[in-house]
Amino acid sequence: MLRSPAAMGSGAFALALALALAACVTPAERKCLLSGSWRSDTGCRMVVSVLSKDGRFSGSYLPGPATGNSEILTSPLEGSQQDARLVPHPTFSFIVHWQLRDSDTTRTTAFLGQCYTGTNGEETLHALWLLREAADSPTEDWKATRVGTSIFTRIK
């Protein structure tokens, strides 16, 4: 069957519209949101809630088999992601209050990082962190803080 140029145009328009919609949707899916499950390069797992409208989230940090660190219990985290869904590599920050077996010491870690999407669509979180172990007095304060990096990949 022959189609009129108008019909062809209509079909081309529909295709263009579909592509445009796909283009709108696909990047949105790639927007590097923290919600979900992640594994750190030290073998720990992290579960992050759905983000609220203003980018806040809560979640848990869990010891992983790779750590061999049976001292850590499941620990709560809270944070937020900036410009989530608006920029390709949104920054984020979250705080973990460590729950430790057989220890009353207060330990807190502040993570500050950015979510990157690779060319294959894989999301990676790059973060630096500070870990403070409560000091007993101001003279002990100088040695209270550790520093390091963590890289997280999504658990599918």
Q: Which stretches within the chain are classed as H helix?
A: 5-29
Measured CA to CA, the distance from residue 146 to residue 69 in angstroms comes to: 17
Residue 34's H or E segment, with its range, is none
Stretch that binds a second copy, among 9-17, 24-32, 45-53, 102-110 (CB under 8 A): 102-110
**3-class state of residue 143 by DSSP:** helix
100 binds a second copy (CB under 8 A): no
User: Considering the rule CB under 8 A, would residue 126 count as an interface residue with a second copy?
Assistant: yes
Residue 34 C-alpha from the chain's centroid? 3
**AA identity, residue 152:** F
Q: How far is it, in rounded angstroms, from Cα 46 to Cα 123?
A: 14
Contact in structure between 48 and 36 (CB atoms under 8 Å): yes
Instruction: Give the residue, chosen from 37, 49, 99, 108, that forms a contact with a second copy under the rule CB under 8 A.
Output: 108
The Cα–Cα gap between 9 and 3 comes to 10
C-beta of 29: minimal distance to a second copy in Å? Answer: 19
Asked if 57 touches a second copy (CB under 8 A), the answer is no
Q: Which of 38, 59, 77, 113 binds a second copy (CB under 8 A)?
A: 113
**Shortest gap between Cβ of 147 and a second copy (angstroms)?**
4
Contact call for residue 54 and a second copy (CB under 8 A): no
Among positions 7, 13, 148, 153, the unique one binding a second copy when judged by CB under 8 A = 148
Which positions lie near a second copy, rule CB under 8 A? 42, 66-68, 78-80, 82-83, 87, 89, 91, 93, 95, 97, 106, 108-114, 116, 118, 124, 126, 128-132, 134-139, 141-150
